[in-house]
């Protein structure tokens, strides 16, 4: 039997590069069974008896993402002979988290510290001998890109495979956890296979059972496990999953400070020089502001807009001309087909006014999303994103928030679901909950169509609308942090935030395009599923109702079922300026997916007819709002609870129904208060006169100010600028 090597590592650690270097053209690309995640296998160059398998890029072995589940199942079930764990040497802290888990799988590991060329270029060094001792496994420094050290690494890995498992696990956890592991391992040892777990994997499973990992619990049953887990939980004072993660990070922290030798820089590198400006105390914030402004300005207002206009007016409108050839738009073609086939009016209505109108309205904004994702990917791979975290940490710290909260927020600008999940990196439970509650205030990709629609339809594409959505999002996070940190459950020290700034890199075109496409594609898929079904439902509910002849299609949507349902809810939104049934319905459907706000408007305002009169839907939309009410509609929809998928993620992360309710309730209150203040005070200062609403607006503003500036009872006031270490 040949040797099986599994490549495991974080995304972007260089796995693809190494895999190509190891296997050359001896590759077979397929899919993992049952899913669309790519599976790559190959034979080691010059060693036909050694096979190499490239596992999906992952940050941990928790069963939260598909990639993690695939990698974990492969390791536990297929039992490769050795794992080559690729570690980005310029980012040890983050990469070693996975390493500590791989070392517990009972499979020999070889740590391959990649990008050593960059580490050396910056004048730093990594003490491999110390790393080997601490991890208890062979380590090699390589540059996958240049091929340096790769063959030595392969030799080490093959030798490790031959020797078999030498040490299981690198981290020694605190006493209650280790006692739990010992008790569970002993119980596992008593079970005979196939129910039992072989020795090497017992530590892995014992830890997962302690973490209450559902997938592990479903796979193996240990008599008395509940008692053991409960005991450890009681001794540790709560949930063990975050406790275990915290202890891993503590181990990694001391490991990195022992192994990573930062050489005193004699010559300043280019990265250092850029950083002197970019992270400068005075300039950092304005630069950050300008960068974010440009990103939203370019993607929503300029570049993205003409593509979107083309999609809306051409592709999903009357048609467009291509090299002088007149191509009809989708509704025209489908409308013609339906007519030719003699379809029943309700079916044409469903297809044209429901599905095409709703889905088309959302798809129209995909180009803007792609531009946004592209620019975000460039920021990320260039290394600037890491600087933003560093800069915001300084600000967040003033308010007792951890800069670590920024990473989830950053991920959240793509999609709130992974954003919320990224909060796991925060060890401190209170900070983690706070981050889970506030991450979705960031405008995610799905909110972009809403922003773009309102900015285009009501504000004539004003330059400030889209960037304001981002900055109000950041402000919402900070203000919520200040408010919540003053309440007992959130009080306490700030999690330590140690971050190595990677050197700046010129982003690779392929990587950036791939990141853009992966995110964009998932939105297109969503448009073809959730949005499509929602649009059909909205069409049905708005076009059918009870008439004098009984139940049937109505002439006027105001007589439809939806108008009735929406009107009941609309009252609630009247103080925010959009108390119409259509706006209320759009807001509610936005809870299913935020794009639905646009999709619903598309159906209700007859998007499919746009083709005849140009931008009719936008005009119809604009005619239902004033500038002020449209902005408040935007405010509420952006900063109220997120979509169901993200609320689901919040529920999983909170792992407690009361906390989940509290989070959703807080978000609802936040969105409502913001929109109320702006609408009521905006109306008053716009010359609307003083009324009960104005009083409510002033009261809300007063309450907000009090929550922000009150002194937490029983705690000394902090001098400004001091970290909140003395609070709590
Ligand atoms: P994956 O996501 O783990 O598959 O990572 P890739 O193989 O796509 O690599 C991510 C980026 O790092 C690419 O731009 C690579 O060219 C670059 N890269 C990979 N290995 C090295 C290395 O050893 N040194 C340097 N400087 N760059 C590397």
Ligand 1 atom nearest to 143, measured from its CA: 23
Distances (CA, A) of 213 to 201, 205, 350, 368, 528: 15, 9, 44, 39, 33
**How far does residue 456's CA lie from ligand 1's centre (Å)?**
40
**3 state SS of 545:** strand
Tens digit of each residue's pLDDT (9 = 90 or more) over 465-491: 989 999 999 899 989 988 988 888 887
CB 438 within 8 A of CB 481: yes
Residues 151, 706: Cα–Cα separation, whole Å: 64
User: CA torsion, points 696, 700, 702, 703, in degrees to nearest 10?
Assistant: 130
Strands 82-88 and 109-114: parallel
Question: What's the helix, strand, coil split of the chain in %, to 5?
Answer: 65, 10, 25
- Residue 101 Cβ contacting ligand 1 at under 6 Å: no
Q: List phi, psi (to 5°) of 506.
A: -75, 120
- Residue 508 Cβ contacting ligand 1 at under 6 Å: yes
CB 6 within 8 A of CB 83: yes
Task: Cite the DSSP H helix spans in 103-165.
Answer: 116-121, 128-135, 150-163
CATH number of 175-261: 1.10.287.1770
**How far does residue 115's CA lie from ligand 1's centre (Å)?**
7
- Residue 12 Cβ contacting ligand 1 at under 6 Å: yes
Residues 324, 612: Cα–Cα separation, whole Å: 20
Pocket test for ligand 1, best of 17, 39, 504 (most atoms within 8 A of CB): 17
Q: Would you state the structure tokens that stand for residue 480, as one six-digit string? A: 């919520």
Mean of all residue pLDDT scores within the chain: 85
Domain ranges of the chain: 3-163, 175-261, 302-383+522-624
Ligand 1 atom nearest to 18, measured from its CA: 7
Terminus-to-terminus CA distance in the chain, angstroms? 60
Q: Residue 35's pLDDT band (boundaries 50, 70, 90)?
A: low
Closest residue by CA, ligand 1 atom 18 = 14
Which has the minimum average pLDDT: 42-46, 218-222, 323-327, 449-453? 323-327
Closest residue by CA, ligand 1 atom 19 = 14
Tens digit of each residue's pLDDT (9 = 90 or more) over 364-388: 778 888 888 888 888 888 888 878 8
Tens digit of each residue's pLDDT (9 = 90 or more) over 258-294: 999 887 656 667 788 888 888 877 888 899 889 988 8
The full 3-state SS of 215-237, as one line of letters, equals HHHHHCCCCCHHHHHHHHHHHHC
Residues 630, 458: Cα–Cα separation, whole Å: 7
Q: Is 686 exposed, middle or buried (0-12, 13-18, 19+ CB in 10 A)?
A: exposed
Pocket test for ligand 1, best of 9, 13, 14, 113 (most atoms within 8 A of CB): 14
Closest residue by CA, ligand 1 atom 16 = 145
Distances (CA, A) of 462 to 88, 305, 472: 42, 12, 16
Closest residue by CA, ligand 1 atom 22 = 115
**How far does residue 522's CA lie from ligand 1's centre (Å)?**
24
Q: List phi, psi (to 5°) of 205.
A: -65, -40
Closest residue by CA, ligand 1 atom 14 = 508
Ligand 1 atom nearest to 54, measured from its CA: 4
pLDDT at residue 176 tops 90:
yes
- Residue 20 Cβ contacting ligand 1 at under 6 Å: no
- What CATH number matches the domain at 3-163, 3.40.50.300, 1.10.10.60, 3.90.550.10, 3.40.50.12280? 3.40.50.300
Tens digit of each residue's pLDDT (9 = 90 or more) over 638-688: 999 998 889 988 998 888 899 999 999 999 999 999 999 999 999 999 888
- Residue 14 Cβ contacting ligand 1 at under 6 Å: yes
């Amino acid at each position: 039997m040949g040797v099986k090597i599994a490549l495991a590592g974080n995304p972007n650690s260089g796995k693809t590069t190494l895999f190509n270097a190891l296997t050359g053209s001896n590759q077979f690309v397929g899919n993992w069974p049952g899913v669309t995640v790519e599976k790559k296998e190959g034979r080691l160059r010059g060693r036909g008896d050694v096979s190499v398998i490239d596992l999906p890029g992952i940050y941990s072995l928790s069963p939260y993402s598909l990639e993690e589940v695939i990698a974990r199942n492969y390791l536990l079930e297929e039992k490769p002979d050795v794992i080559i764990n690729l570690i980005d040497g310029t980012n040890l802290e983050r990469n070693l988290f996975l390493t500590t888990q791989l070392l517990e799988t009972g499979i020999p590991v070889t740590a391959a510290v990649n990008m050593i060329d960059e580490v050396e270029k910056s004048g730093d060094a990594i003490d491999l001998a110390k790393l080997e001792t601490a991890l208890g496994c062979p380590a090699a420094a390589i540059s996958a890109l240049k091929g340096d050290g790769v063959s030595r690494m392969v030799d080490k890995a093959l030798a490790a495979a031959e020797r078999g498992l030498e040490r299981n696990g690198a981290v020694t956890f605190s006493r209650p956890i280790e006692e739990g592991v010992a008790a569970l391992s002993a119980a596992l040892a008593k079970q005979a296979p196939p129910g039992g777990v072989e020795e090497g994997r017992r530590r892995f499973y014992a830890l997962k059972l302690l973490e209450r990992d559902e997938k592990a619990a479903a796979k193996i049953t240990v008599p008395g496990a509940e008692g053991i887990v409960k005991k450890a939980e009681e001794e540790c004072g709560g949930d063990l999953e975050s406790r275990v993660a915290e202890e891993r990070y503590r181990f990694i922290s001391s490991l990195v400070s022992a192994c990573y030798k930062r050489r005193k820089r004699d010559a300043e590198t280019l990265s250092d020089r850029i950083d002197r400006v970019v992270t400068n105390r005075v300039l950092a914030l304005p630069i950050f502001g300008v960068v974010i402004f440009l990103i939203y300005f370019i993607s929503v207002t300029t570049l993205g807009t003409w593509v979107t206009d083309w999609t809306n007016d051409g592709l999903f409108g009357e048609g467009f001309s291509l090299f002088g050839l007149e191509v009809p738009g989708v509704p025209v073609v489908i409308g013609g087909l339906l007519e030719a086939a003699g379809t029943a009016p309700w079916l044409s209505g469903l297809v044209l006014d429901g599905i095409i109108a709703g889905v088309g309205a959302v798809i129209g904004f995909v180009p803007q999303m792609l531009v946004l994702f592209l620019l975000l990917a460039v920021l990320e791979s260039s290394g600037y994103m890491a600087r933003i975290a560093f800069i915001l940490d300084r600000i967040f710290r003033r308010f007792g928030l951890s800069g670590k909260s920024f990473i989830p927020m950053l991920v959240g600008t793509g999609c709130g679901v992974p954003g919320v999940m990224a909060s796991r990196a925060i060890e401190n439970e209170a900070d983690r909950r706070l981050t889970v509650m506030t991450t979705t205030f960031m405008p995610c990709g799905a909110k972009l169509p809403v922003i773009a629609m309102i900015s285009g339809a009501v504000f004539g594409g004003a330059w400030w609308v889209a960037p304001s959505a981002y900055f109000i999002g950041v402000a919402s996070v900070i203000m919520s942090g200040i408010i919540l940190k003053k309440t007992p459950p959130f009080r306490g020290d700030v999690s330590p935030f140690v971050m190595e700034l990677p050197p700046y890199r010129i982003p690779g075109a392929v990587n950036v395009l791939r990141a853009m496409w992966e995110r964009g594609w998932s939105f297109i898929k969503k448009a073809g599923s959730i949005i499509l079904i929602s649009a059909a439902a909205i069409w049905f509910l708005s076009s059918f109702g009870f008439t004098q002849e009984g139940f049937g299609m109505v002439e006027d949507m105001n007589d439809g079922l939806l108008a009735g349902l929406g009107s009941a809810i609309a009252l609630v939104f009247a103080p925010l300026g959009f108390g119409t049934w259509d706006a209320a319905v759009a807001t509610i459907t936005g809870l299913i997916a935020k794009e639905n706000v646009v999709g619903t408007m598309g159906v209700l305002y007859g998007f499919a007819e746009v083709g005849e009169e140009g931008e009719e839907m936008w005009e119809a939309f604009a005619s239902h709002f004033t500038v002020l009410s449209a902005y408040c509609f935007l405010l509420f929809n952006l900063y109220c609870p997120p979509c169901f998928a993200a609320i689901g993620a919040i529920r999983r992360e909170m792992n407690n129904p009361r906390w989940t309710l509290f989070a959703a309730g807080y978000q609802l209150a936040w969105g409502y208060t913001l929109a109320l203040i702006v609408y009521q005070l905006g109306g008053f200062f716009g010359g609307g006169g003083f009324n009960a609403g104005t009083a409510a607006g002033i009261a809300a503003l007063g309450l907000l100010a009090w929550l922000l500036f009150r002194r937490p009872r029983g705690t000394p006031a902090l001098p400004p600028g001091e970290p909140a270490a003395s609070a709590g």
